[in-house]
Structure formats: structure tokens, C-alpha cells
Amino acid sequence: MIKINSRNTHAFSCRNTAKLKSKYNFNLKIRFIQTVSQFVNNPFIHSSSLKNEIHNCKFSFAQKFKNISYQYNCHNYFVNSYSTYIDVNEIGVQLLPEDIHYEVFGKNISKIAESFGKTSEKNANDESKSPQSSSETHSNIVNLSKEHLKRQGLFNEGQAPVYNELYAKLNIKNSSIQAKNIRDHFKKISLGTYSDYLSLAKAFVSSDKPAQIPSSEIVIKSGWVRYVFDQNSNTYSHESVIGIKEDALVFDIENLTTLSPYPLLASAVTSEATYVWISPYITGESNSPNHLIKISEPSSKKAKIIIGHNISYDRARIFEEYSYTSTLNRFIDTMSLHIATSGLCSQQRPIYNKVSKILKDENYSPENSIFISKFGKMASVSSTNGLKAAVKFHNNIDLDKDIRDTFVTGCISDIRENILPLIDYCTNDVLATLDLYKTLFPKYLKLCPHPASFAGMLIMTNSFLPIYLPQWESFVNTCEQKSESITKELQDKLVELALLAIECKDPHSDPWLKNLDWTPFKIKTTKAKVNKYGKILPGGEPKLFKNFKKYSKDELDFLTGKPKWFTDCYDFESKKIIITFKQQLTPYLLKLTWLNYPLYYSKNFGWTFVVPRSQLDKVDLLSKNNSSLADLSGLNESSEDDIFRSNLILIAKMPILKFTSEIENKNYEPIPASDTENYYFRIPHKDGENANCGNPLSKNYLSSIENNVLGSSFEISKEAIQMNTLTSYWVSVRKRVIGQFVVPMNDKLKSEHTSSIKSDHLGMILPQLVPMGTITRRGVEPTWATASNAKKNRIGSEIKTLIRSPTICSTETGQKQSFKVVGADVDSEELWISSLMGDAQ
């Protein structure tokens, strides 16, 4: 054997592995790796570079015998009398330390050792024989992985492994794993906690469906009324109840959006009965519409499964859910079930909508026929997410939604006048949702069989956000005031820029202003009626054309002679010029640049930037001649630094836009079509190089502004851009934040808890979460899940800091309960998950 100690470490090298392969038998090779492992872990060796060199050699040695070490389900084990764990894979990526690996993935040493012993004898007798088919398959997969990584510039043959000794020394004992490995752990905790709910959900699929209640049987009474059909007598009976008696139900609420977010009507169906809830505000028993729905009887201690389409919206109207202690209610979202089994991704949705529109017209054009032949199958395998579309797709049921407009545009008197048809509509929706659930849930379990998927949906739809009401109201009011103030100041800046642009003596030579319409505003009048001497006859004075009569004399004096782009911004109500950051002319007034090149709006390609051909052609010539980037220094006298040169190299790799020169073509654009001195490039978009930039001042380009990729060299423009950045976040989230359904906790706390904070100051928000809102089954929530981190230059970005975690004391048990806010954000979450799944194979 080769002796390795501190005196002859330099005699040890990767070349020894080749000698060992031909000279020593299998057991010696194993002992060799063991010796190296022991040497690397020797506490008396302090040279990190020497340890890394030896570790690289260990990796190289393992590579040479990969047909032995990787043919057992890709486990990195070498076993003879005792095992040695290889903690670097064939690509050179460091794996979990041995102890953690066994705790996470389990430890089946006996089976591995048994099979390894048999194979070691075979290899010892004849090492030249070809590896088994499983080894060949694994080798092909490894080679494919290497090839893919090489194409991305992430792997080179013979490169040293990525290894950090600190990770190798990690000693984490996670005693909370409740099974022999992490896979069984998640199964166990999912089934252990939620198996009862899963049983309820499965049983409800095969349960009976109650009959539709005739309008003549409905009683107008506040609260819940339970309706049961007696088949023997062929009659309906009804009774007033406090809550739903059964443990599985489909639930839906309706509210008047112009009045209040609180519910006015609700319906529920179980396997035994149909329930209708009417707000006391409708019956006139209350002067306030602010009433929540009690879903259970007070004495009930049973677990409940509540099903609905976008159930988080309905859950937010349930009285019991506004509690700091978890209820026994759990929620299943049929919209999530549909998305997980037959949903559309964001790129498919516009295609699907176009297919649906074309298919409605039986006599479509040849162009549309080609489109249908390419994408028509999409309509047969998916649909949009609404209840009407989903029920039509899965159950072939047509829902009449026309009367629903009463809840959108009507008033309370409209609701009272049409109460019976509206109750009928509400119960119809619930029965349709029941049909949808009975069809979808078995599909979902087949596609997503792991119990953690089901458990995850129940957990996510059970969330709540406690807030401090005075702080919430102050936050909204402050954001509104600051945003309005800055918006007004910003509009003044833009008008100032517009007035400066008008004073430009030669706008047609300006790279930005030449793209605006400079046709002067002229007053058009009828011809004067004159006599033979040329004098105007009485009543024959010139009269303004009809479309000019809306202007006053002062307005005409102000606008006459001004360019069309300016007069188009005149607002008749406020009698002012109004320019916002959403208008197409604003980037021109700000004289925006991308990588210091002026912007141009193309009707075909969206916002683009314009680069002189002379600069880009020289870059292309240098790349062909393999010249140095330093040779580009003469391209621009005012910018000779590396940033300018690297920008040009980056631009040179982008596709050059082509414009038609045919004037008759509908896509003809005169400015770029006649421009022989410049190239045009799309401003990059998050959806890919073929996507158009609709507005470079939108929130998607805030990072480009901060990094000075998008900007302006004019001081007044810089100020305007900074002001827009301040308000951009609040403008984008304002409607969602103001629309949050905030429920005061004063009544709930008086009956259930005491708090360190005054009870009338506490509130709660139940987030409108779709647990599987994407086809990758990612949770979607429009406000809180997308909230950014707090930034000084973003009004409203501190919204997440409004979540409060008070200490609550139960009035029944006296037990205190403290809450902690924990946040996490994983960039490219789906990519991480798919990578982990791939690595686990």
C-alpha cells in the first residue's frame, strides 16, 4: 500500500490513481480512498491548500472508478469492512456531510454492502468487463449533464470540485424528523395532521346532491335557514339555524360592491340540505350592512371542510375565522383544483382567448384557420379560471350569470326588489361548484397524490394577518397625501418640460422632439359673407367650426399656434394642460435614454433605442478581426471608458429591428424607414426579446432607472424621474391596499381574549390567497405575497411592517399566546424546486 503521512505528502498526487487502477485490486482502491479521507480530516494538518489538493485527488480517483461507485442507485458509497462516504458528486458539486445525508435520506448500509460485495468480487476477477446497463444509463445521464453545463459555460473537464471545508464539518442533528427519511417525514406529518380532512373530502365526492329549492319555498328571513327535501312526502321543510350542521359543505357569498365588502346573501349545500343566509340589513332589522356569517353552531367541535370557487374571498366573510386561535374549519378551493389539473400559464392565456373568440365565429378567415390548426387543441384541454368557464369545461354546464350584474352596478333597493331571483342565482352557483368539485377532486388526487399537496392547500387557506387599526389608517392616509402632493408637483414639472420643448427653435433636429406631431393648432371658421364691395354683411361674420365652439376666447388665444402634441394634452374640465407618466409623449419630453442612446416609439416594436450605425459597424468589424476592445476608444470622444465599450458589445449581440419601406404597408413608419444613419433595438422586456416595452417608466423598469441604464442627462428630467420613482409603488398597489377587507377585532376579543393592546385598536385581514394560483401550483395573492421590502424612495413599500403580533390571553383558560412574524422570499422558486427534483433522481 501507499503510505501517506505528514513527511511525504508532496509525493502524493493524482497521478497515483492511474497506477493504482492497474496495479491494485478493488479492496486496495477502497482503502486508498479511506486513507485519503482520513488524511484530509487529520486535525494536525493545517495547510488548507494541501487539503484542497488532496481532496481534488480524492475526487479524481472517485471519478476514475465511477462505474463501481455509481451503479447502486447513484449512492456515493464505498464499502468493505466499513463504509466511506464520498461527499462530492461527479460534476464536482459538494454534497451533504455524511451524518446529515443519512438523517435526511435514510441509511440502508446492509443492502448496499450486500450488493456491493457481490459486485466487488466480479470486478476483482475481471475489471475489463463492461459495466451493467444501470451504470451505462447513469454514465449517459452524467455525460448529458456535463454537456449541458459546458454549453452554459459552467463546467470544464478536469476542473477542481467546488468544496468548502466548513460545510463538511456541519454537525446538525434535526431530531424533529419523524420518520426514517425526509420523504417519509412529510408523508407522516401530512397524513397525521390532515388525514381526517382528507377522508371528509373524499367522502363528500360520493355523497348525495340536494335538489334545487323552488323560489316558492324560500322564506325571507335573516340569518341561516335550512331547507330539506322529504322524498316520501315530496315536500320541503325549513328551519332557522345558527350555523351549518354537517361537516362538509360548498359555500358562496354575494355582496354589493358599491355598498360594502360585507356579505348580503350566502348559500351552502351539504349532502343533506341546502342553506340560505340573508343579511339583517336586507330585511331591515339592522341599519348597518356590516355583518359576518357564522358558519358553525356554537357547541360544534367538529372538523369542517368548506369548499368554494376562490374560497379565500368567501372565507373572509366568516365570523369564526377572525380569531387568534385556529378554528377546526379547513378550506378547499375549486379554482386551485382547476388550475392544478387544467390551468393555463400567462403565456397561454391570450392564445386561448383568441382561439375561443375565433371558434365562436363559424365562418372564420383562412388566416384564422391556420391559427386554429396550430393552437385549436388548447380549447379542448383547458379553460380560464372563472366558475362559469370551469363548469362548462369540466361538467358541460352552462351557467347564467346575467343577474349577477345587480351585485356589481345595483343598489340595496335593487337587491331587495330582486331577492328571490338573486337567491336562486346564489344557490345555482353553489350547486354548480359542487358538481365541479365532484369532478375535479379525484383528478387532483390522481395528479397530485402526495398528502403534503393537499395539506399545503389547507394550511395556506387558513392564514390571517393581525394589524393595528390606527397605524393602518395612518399609513393609508399618509401614502395618499404624499402621493397626491408629489403627483401634482410631477405634473407641473412635465408641463414645464412641455413649455421648454415648445421654445425649441429646431425641434426636427432633436433626437426626441422630432418624433412628436408639430402641426400647429389653427382656428377654422366659415367664410364671411360679403357684398360686392367686400364688406361683411350683417349676420355674415365668420363662424367657428362646430368642434371649435367648445373653446373660450382665452383658450383659443392660448392654444393657437401651439403644436398638436401640446394641444392634445389640454383638459377642458380643469382648463389646464395635463401630462402624466403614462402618456406616450412623456419619454420624449424627458429625453430618456437607454444605455445613453435616445428612445423612439415604434407602433410595431414598442419603445426602442437608437444607436448610430457608425459605432455598431465598427464593433462588428473588430469582432471579426479579433481586435481588442481598446480599439473602440475612438468611437466617442465624450465617452472613452470601459462602460461605453462594453455597452456597445452588449448591444451588438441584440437583434436589429427591420422596418418596411413600402408606404402602402400598414406597418410603415416614416422616421425609421428613411433613417440610414441609425440602428433600432427593442428595449429589453422581462417576457423575452420578442416582447414589446409599452412604457419604459413603468414599475418593471425601476431597477433600470436605479442602475442608470435608463435615464436622462437633463437635470429637470432627472428630478421628474426621481419623483415618479417615489410614487410608482403606491400607484401600482393603491387600489389593492385600499380594497383590503379590514375587520375590527373588538367584539371578538371581548368574548374570547384580552390583549396588551386596546381591543378596539386591533384588526385582522384574511389574505385573498389562491393556494395553487399557477400551473406550477404556486400560491398567488395580489397584495401581501407581492409586497416589496421597505425602501426609502418608495412610498408605501413599508406595508409589510404593519403586520402586528400581539400577545393574547384567553378569557377561558387564561393561557397567553404570543405570535412572531416570519418572512421568506425565494427567488426563482419554481426553478429551485425543479432543480431539487432533478438532483433527487
How far apart, in whole angstroms, are the C-alpha atoms of residue 806 and residue 466? 8
How far apart, in whole angstroms, are the C-alpha atoms of residue 530 and residue 534? 5
pLDDT (tens digit per residue) in 108-123: 544 443 443 444 444 4
Contact assessment for residue 736 and residue 781, using Cβ atoms and an 8 Å cutoff: no
* Paired strand residues for 525: 544
> Which of 109-113, 119-123, 595-599, 627-631 reaches the highest mean pLDDT?
595-599
Q: Judge whether residue 179 has pLDDT over 90.
A: no
pLDDT band for position 620 (50/70/90)? Answer: low
248-254 vs 304-308, strand pairing mode? parallel
Lowest mean pLDDT, pick from 118-127, 513-522, 727-736, 813-822: 118-127
Task: Return the CA Rg of the chain.
Answer: 36
Question: 632: which DSSP letter?
Answer: G
248-254 vs 808-810, strand pairing mode? unpaired
How far apart, in whole angstroms, are the C-alpha atoms of residue 477 and residue 474? 5
Task: Output the pLDDT for position 328.
Answer: 93
How far apart, in whole angstroms, are the C-alpha atoms of residue 611 and residue 299? 74
How far apart, in whole angstroms, are the C-alpha atoms of residue 264 and residue 284? 12
How far apart, in whole angstroms, are the C-alpha atoms of residue 619 and residue 617? 5
Question: 274: which DSSP letter?
Answer: E
On the 0-12 / 13-18 / 19+ scale of CB atoms within 10 A, 707 is exposed
SS3 state at 83: strand
Q: Identify the CATH class of 205-343+383-462.
A: alpha beta
Sheet holding 235-241, edge to edge: 235-241, 223-230, 274-278, 265-269, 248-254, 304-308, 329-333
Helix (H) or strand (E) holding 722: helix 715-738
Question: 242: which DSSP letter?
Answer: S
**pLDDT: which is higher, 36 or 677:** 677
Contact assessment for residue 423 and residue 265, using Cβ atoms and an 8 Å cutoff: yes
Per cent of the chain over pLDDT 70 is 77
How far apart, in whole angstroms, are the C-alpha atoms of residue 538 and residue 535? 9
How far apart, in whole angstroms, are the C-alpha atoms of residue 228 and residue 235? 8
Say what the pTM is.
Answer: 0.75
Nearest to 385 by CA among 91, 737, 775, 728: 775
**Residue 772: what residue type?**
M
Task: Output the pLDDT for position 20.
Answer: 35
What dihedral angle (degrees, nearest 10) is formed by the CA atoms of 364, 370, 371, 376?
90
Q: Average of pLDDT values for 5-25?
A: 35
Angstrom distances, CA of residue 717 to CA of 128, 325, 566, 587, 722: 74, 53, 18, 9, 9
Which grid coordinates belong to 693? 416595452
Per cent of the chain over pLDDT 90 is 42
Task: Output the pLDDT for position 127.
Answer: 45
Lowest mean pLDDT, pick from 48-62, 378-392, 743-757: 48-62
Contact assessment for residue 35 and residue 7, using Cβ atoms and an 8 Å cutoff: no
pLDDT (tens digit per residue) in 784-823: 988 888 888 899 999 999 998 877 776 667 777 777 777 7
Nearest to 81 by CA among 39, 31, 115: 31
Lowest mean pLDDT, pick from 215-229, 617-631, 679-693: 617-631
Give the largest Cα separation in the chain, rounded: 129
Side-chain half-sphere CA neighbours of 33 within 13 A: 26
How far apart, in whole angstroms, are the C-alpha atoms of residue 606 and residue 692? 5
Which grid coordinates belong to 775? 400551473
Domain ranges of the chain: 9-168, 205-343+383-462, 593-695, 744-839
**Residue 105: what residue type?**
F
How far apart, in whole angstroms, are the C-alpha atoms of residue 312 and residue 781? 10
Which grid coordinates belong to 170? 456541519
The backbone torsions φ and ψ at residue 525, rounded to the nearest 5 degrees and listed phi first, read -130, 165
Task: Output the pLDDT for position 720.
Answer: 87
Contact assessment for residue 163 and residue 97, using Cβ atoms and an 8 Å cutoff: no
SS3 state at 630: helix
- Determine the straight-line distance between the first and last CA of the chain, rounded to whole angstroms: 36
pLDDT (tens digit per residue) in 45-102: 444 444 455 455 544 544 444 433 333 333 333 333 344 567 788 888 888 888 788 7
Average pLDDT, the chain: 80
pLDDT (tens digit per residue) in 403-442: 888 998 889 999 999 999 999 999 999 999 999 999 999 9
Sheet holding 597-602, edge to edge: 678-682, 606-612, 597-602, 593-594, 710-711
**Residue 13: what residue type?**
S
